[in-house]
A and B are shown apart, each in its own frame.
Chain A
């Protein structure tokens, strides 16, 4: 072996990928160390979309924080509102009426389906199967129409409020949702026909981006990342919230912890979400949609502006407009199973109307931390497949 070839073989090239790169779906930068075509190391550099949500939240009243939370994972806003509202409600020590709980579950599961559809479409497109993207966006459009019907907004719904939901489900929502759930299994089958046994898809995903169960736990990876590695762990089952213990559903798991297993897990999760929504619709209780205790909502307008004014109601209205409701002194941590993994809110209250500290435990950030483990030893071309399988949203990485 001549000296020059020896040197050429050992040389490591550092390649900068992003922050503007089509396969990262956002502003993610990855510094790759390459030995030829092989990835020796991949270090993500984050923060290009940092908006200081935690700092901003400290200067806003509890209800005003909700639109900020929407902008974390902008593909599954209801799930994020859900976790925040549950955390503040835990701090306040209030219960949400059953109807609101059910509506929240329906919305959060709809968000899971929407999020997984986008993931599937974009992940397949990264690998080269562009058709799937067109298929999934067709169904994703229906989920957005449904969310828009309920909230009035397509993207950042802010449909959940502390103490319940903003307003009741509109007329025509439930039939449209049922019609969507009727066609969904057939559509999922369509995607599976395109991918599950597709030779190219399997070549690009089987044994690519392997994460062992031990590493998944050590790195704090959650959601389909953890379940794909074989651990049956789902916050909805382990620490049930908002009435999830009443629903009958399965937790799919993988065996090998590779991209293909995570794909199978997410496909099955869409079917399970459909099951949950069907059960919730079946048993949807009647009744109020906002908690009456805690003075979280405006009093009856009749008592404020009508003929028979009530002083207490006036004061209540005035206090809410000027400061917002007060939360007690204390600290709580509440987590939910968001589409991308465990989403947790650690709220510290100081007795005032604003959170003293709001800490957000983001699933995408923690899952992205496993990128070096997933990509070592793979080819550069696999990076797009590996970033795709993480299912990250940069708003959810950078907060």
Chain B
């Protein structure tokens, strides 16, 4: 039987490579799920959470930085800037990053030198990580 083959690659490593049942991805226009025999697709991904259902029906969750995904002949290729599992995220660090991003964002409103977009992205990323570890998704 043909199965959906998932490959997640980040700039620093091949993060995930295996056959899976389904994958839910954070597309820029909303989350979508990919099962086997999905139509050909290329999509941009937002910062968000990737949910993978393995062949043994285990659910895996990862926080990902933005990227892109391609479905072609039952091969799902996901290229993301970063990928972290629940165990990899440190609560303290994520919380601190969140605080820092918030402060930066506040400062950016009054100070033109600080890049507003970058501060915004940093905050989204930090919140996304926190969301994953606190299971609020």
Are A and B physically bound partners? no
B interface residue numbers (CB < 8 A to A): none
